[in-house]
Structures are given as structure tokens and as C-alpha cells.
């Protein structure tokens, strides 16, 4: 049998399943029919010619095949005709894919070229900007130099009476004292709005800041006439201020006396001297410092002492019951006892632990709470043990104390007769309580006892 598939292309996935077999079957049928006809035709003819091979089937098949031509080639042509549409579509798809790929590649090349170009432009732009900034910096420097030169030359101009030169000389202790070096001088308008910048361009006269040299001298430059405030700040954070008037056409040259040395720390012990036989257990004594200033040559000097609350008034609140027992609480500074409840007592502390005086402040926080042992338990008094260990930075010292007395549920402010005392370098201060204050305290105590008595009678 003839192999019709000899010239057929390799099978394809998109080829119809029966295509090859259909072609083979059709051509085979044709060849079989032709062979059969050859047999019939030659059998009839051979009867006359007596040819021994004329009716031989293989010969007939061979002759039919010869007449057929090349069946394999025909089969291939039929297969190609059937697959022509798909083959063309595939070629078209392949061509399109190739075109798209080439286009994408071209686009990538274009983008890459564009990025390179942009990067080069950015680098060039950065270089240009740097160059421009450098030129601007140089230009600004030249302008500032010209401005400084103009300012320096201004005083020599006879016609300028609005701007006058000002200088200050600072001396320690007295006008003949040694020069005060390193003192910061600040000249500003007293009407200057708070928060305004020193170099506010809208201000006629900017704030001048300068520091004295080793000769205690400071040149404030040209100052527009007017009223100013001069602030002086010593290297140890002590400062003063004074008014300065600058007159038109009249240069200002002033000598100012400043403190010779910093304030000296003093350790202070406070002792409260109660009258003989007076029971002071239920008395609170609070101490605080006065404003720390000192006067020198008509100037008041203030101190920015970072240890403002060094006064350590350690109060030890204690609850005293009717049988004399004591319930000690924590040692706290700013404290009060809240006796408003019937069954609980709160110890509250202010945020300022060393103030010693915020007895009625609203920002008190409860730090301790006590349960009253039973309903009939009453307190007749509260004792605050006071110990004052103070370290002051001032000499002379100004110390004040106000006595307070408590009754359950509230506290009473004693008639505020300040017990003020001043002592120089004394490290141990005695606080003498006037008899008037003692009498008032006794009066409060009597009221407390009356309240306790009343409560006891009610409870019994």
C-alpha cells in the first residue's frame, strides 16, 4: 500500500482531528477504484492477448498508481489547503507579535534615551543652580559689607543727628571698680511688642545685643534717638534693667555699676519658738522665701536662680485620735488633709512638691487615703511636724512664715500677721511667734475641741 502521509507536515495542535485520515481515506478509495477498473479493463483485454500479467492485482495497482501521479503530494496539497486559513492566521499573529516586540523594544530605547537626556539636564540644572547660589552668596556678602561700611561711616556725617553713637562702660561694685567683662547688654525699645524678632525689618530700631570686652566696654553703634530699655545680664544669671534716653545729636556714653560677685549660698536652719507651755503639735508653719533681689546704685538686680524651690519644707501630716494615737502619713511637701468625708481621709499633694503652701489648690492629687477605723472615731486635731532645711542663694535673707490652724473638714487661715525676720549671714533663724497669734491659735483649738465634744455627745 502506498504511504500517503510521506509528504504531510508534522501534526499540529490546531489541526482538525480527522483531517489526515479523511484525506488518506478519500485518496485510498480513489486508488482502489482505479485499481479495480484496471483489473476489469485488462482482464477483458487479456482474454484476446493471452498476457499472463495483465490481470495481476499488484500490476493493476501499480498502473493505477502511475496514472494517479503522486498521491503523497496531492495529500500534502489537500492538507495545506485545509490548513491554509489557520496557517495564515498563525503567520499573521507571529508577525504582529514580532512587530509589537520590536515596537516595545523601540519604545524602551526611546524611554531610556529620554531618561538619559533628562538626567543630563538635571545634572546640568543642578550645576547651574549651585553656580547661581554661589553668585548670590557672594553678592549678599558684598551687600552686607557695603551696609556695614555705610553704618560705620554714618557717625562722621555731621548732618546725621537722628542716629547717634552709643557706648556703655560697666564697673564692678562702684564707678571706680574693676571693669566688668562678659556682661551681656541688650538695648531694646520698651514698647516693642512681645515676641517680635530682634531684626524685625518693620522696626525703626532693631534690638542691639552686645557683650562687654575685657575693659568692661561695649559699643552699641549708631542708635536712633528715643527711649530704650537697657537690660544687663551678669555671667551668673543675675540681671537688671534701666531706662535709657538717647537724645538727637548727642552721643551716649554711660558708666553703669554692676554686682561685684555672685550671690553666696547660705544654709539656713529655721527654729520656731513657741511660748512656754504652748502645745504646737497641731500647728502648721510654712516658710518661703521672699523675692530675691538686691539694690545696687539705684538698680534692682534679680536672680534667675534655678533652685527657686530649694526651700525644702518637709511636712509630716499626722492624724491624732481621741486616745492620743498617731497615724503618720507620708512625708510630703505641698499637702493638705481632706477631712470632708465621714469615713475616709485623703492626703493630697500639689504638683509643686516643695512649695509648702498650696493648701487649697485645685490641682492637688490624692496620694494617700485612710480608712477611718470606726464610725465613732473622731479626730480632734492634726499635727504637722515642721522641719525646714533651706539652702538659700541670697544674703541677706528674707523669710516669712504664716501659721495655720486646722479644724476637721476645713482649715482656717490665721490672721495674716506675717512673721518677717531678716538676718544677715545667720545660718540658724529663730522664729518668735507673737502672743496675738498664739491667742488666735488657742481660739481655733478651742473651737476644734468644742466640735469634737459635740460630735462625741452626738455619737454617744
Partner 1 sequence: MDTKLLNGTLEMMMLEVLSQGPSYGYEIVQTVLSRSGGQFELKEGSLYPALHRLERQKLLSSYWTEHEGRRRKYYKLSAAGRKALAARRQEWQSFAQGVNGVLGLDYGIV
Q: Which residues bind partner 1 (CB under 8 A)?
A: 22, 25-30, 32-34, 37, 68-71, 73-74, 77-78, 81-82
Least distance from partner 1 to the Cβ atom of residue 93, Å: 21
Q: Which residue has the cell 488518506?
A: 24
DSSP-assigned states of every residue in 107-118:
HHHHHHHHHHHH
Q: Which residue has the cell 518668735?
A: 432
Q: Which residues contact 130 (CB under 8 A, 6 or more apart)?
A: none
What CA–CA distances, in Å, run from 50 to 37, 44, 46, 64? 19, 10, 5, 21
85-93 contacts, C-beta under 8 A, 24 or more apart: 86/12, 86/14, 86/15, 90/14
Q: Which is nearer to partner 1, 74 or 296 (CB)?
A: 74
Least distance from partner 1 to the Cβ atom of residue 35, Å: 10
Q: Which is nearer to partner 1, 74 or 412 (CB)?
A: 74
Q: Which is nearer to partner 1, 32 or 439 (CB)?
A: 32
Least distance from partner 1 to the Cβ atom of residue 25, Å: 4
What cell numbers appear for 15 in the block?
489541526
Q: Which is nearer to partner 1, 70 or 432 (CB)?
A: 70
Taking the C-alpha atoms of residue 390 and residue 186, their distance in angstroms, rounded to an integer, is 34
Taking the C-alpha atoms of residue 258 and residue 175, their distance in angstroms, rounded to an integer, is 9
Taking the C-alpha atoms of residue 147 and residue 222, their distance in angstroms, rounded to an integer, is 13
Least distance from partner 1 to the Cβ atom of residue 14, Å: 17
Q: Which is nearer to partner 1, 64 or 287 (CB)?
A: 64
Q: Which is nearer to partner 1, 82 or 372 (CB)?
A: 82
Where would I find the beta strands (DSSP E) of 72-144?
A: none
Q: Which is nearer to partner 1, 89 or 108 (CB)?
A: 89
Query: What is the spatial order of strands in the sheet that 365-371 belongs to?
Result: 335-338, 344-349, 365-371
Least distance from partner 1 to the Cβ atom of residue 27, Å: 7
Least distance from partner 1 to the Cβ atom of residue 78, Å: 6
CA quadruple 264, 269, 270, 275: dihedral sign: negative
Q: Which is nearer to partner 1, 24 or 311 (CB)?
A: 24
Least distance from partner 1 to the Cβ atom of residue 31, Å: 9
Least distance from partner 1 to the Cβ atom of residue 66, Å: 12
What CA–CA distances, in Å, run from 276 to 218, 271, 280, 286, 417? 61, 15, 10, 21, 20
What cell numbers appear for 410 in the block?
476645713
Amino acid at each position: 500500500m502506498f504511504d500517503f502521509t510521506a509528504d504531510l507536515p508534522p501534526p499540529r495542535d490546531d489541526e482538525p482531528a480527522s483531517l489526515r485520515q479523511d484525506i488518506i481515506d478519500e485518496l485510498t478509495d480513489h486508488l482502489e477504484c482505479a485499481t479495480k477498473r484496471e483489473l476489469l479493463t485488462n482482464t477483458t483485454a487479456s482474454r484476446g492477448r493471452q498476457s499472463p500479467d495483465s490481470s495481476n492485482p499488484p500490476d493493476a495497482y501499480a498502473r493505477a498508481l502511475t496514472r494517479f501521479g503522486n498521491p503523497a503530494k496531492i495529500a500534502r496539497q489537500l492538507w495545506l489547503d485545509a490548513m491554509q486559513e489557520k496557517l495564515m492566521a498563525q503567520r499573521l499573529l507571529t508577525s504582529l507579535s514580532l512587530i509589537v516586540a520590536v515596537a516595545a523594544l523601540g519604545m524602551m530605547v526611546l524611554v531610556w534615551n529620554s531618561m538619559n537626556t533628562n538626567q543630563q539636564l538635571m545634572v546640568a540644572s543642578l550645576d547651574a543652580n549651585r553656580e547661581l547660589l554661589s553668585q548670590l552668596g557672594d553678592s549678599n556678602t558684598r551687600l552686607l559689607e557695603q551696609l556695614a561700611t555705610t553704618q560705620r561711616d554714618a557717625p562722621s556725617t555731621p548732618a546725621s543727628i537722628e542716629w547717634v553713637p552709643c557706648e556703655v562702660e560697666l564697673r564692678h561694685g562702684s564707678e571706680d571698680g574693676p571693669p566688668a567683662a562678659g556682661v551681656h547688654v541688650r538695648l531694646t525699645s520698651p514698647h516693642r511688642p512681645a515676641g517680635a524678632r530682634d531684626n524685625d525689618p518693620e522696626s525703626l530700631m532693631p534690638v542691639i545685643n552686645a557683650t562687654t570686652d575685657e575693659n568692661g566696654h561695649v559699643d552699641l553703634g549708631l542708635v536712633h534717638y528715643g527711649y530704650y530699655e537697657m537690660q544687663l545680664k551678669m555671667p551668673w544669671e543675675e540681671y537688671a534693667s534701666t531706662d535709657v534716653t538717647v537724645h538727637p545729636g548727642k552721643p551716649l556714653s554711660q558708666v553703669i555699676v554692676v554686682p561685684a560677685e555672685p550671690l553666696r549660698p547660705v544654709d539656713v536652719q529655721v527654729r520656731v519658738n513657741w511660748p512656754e507651755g504652748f502645745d504646737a503639735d497641731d500647728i502648721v508653719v510654712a516658710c518661703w522665701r521672699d523675692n530675691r533681689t538686691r539694690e545696687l546704685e539705684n538698680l534692682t538686680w534679680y536672680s534667675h536662680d534655678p533652685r527657686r524651690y530649694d526651700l525644702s519644707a518637709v511636712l509630716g501630716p499626722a492624724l491624732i485620735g481621741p486616745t492620743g494615737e498617731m497615724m503618720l502619713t507620708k512625708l510630703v511637701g505641698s499637702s493638705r488633709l481632706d477631712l470632708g468625708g465621714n469615713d475616709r481621709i485623703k492626703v493630697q499633694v500639689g504638683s509643686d512638691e516643695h512649695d509648702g503652701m498650696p493648701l487649697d489648690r485645685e490641682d492637688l492629687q490624692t496620694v494617700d487615703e485612710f480608712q477611718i477605723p470606726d464610725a465613732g472615731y473622731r479626730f480632734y486635731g492634726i499635727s504637722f511636724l515642721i522641719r525646714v532645711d533651706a539652702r538659700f542663694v541670697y544674703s541677706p535673707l528674707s523669710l516669712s512664715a504664716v501659721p495655720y490652724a486646722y479644724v476637721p473638714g476645713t482649715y482656717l487661715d490665721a490672721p495674716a500677721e506675717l512673721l518677717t525676720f531678716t538676718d544677715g549671714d545667720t545660718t540658724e533663724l529663730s522664729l518668735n511667734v507673737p502672743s496675738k497669734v498664739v491667742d488666735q491659735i488657742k481660739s481655733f483649738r478651742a473651737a476644734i475641741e468644742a466640735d469634737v465634744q459635740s460630735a462625741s455627745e452626738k455619737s454617744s
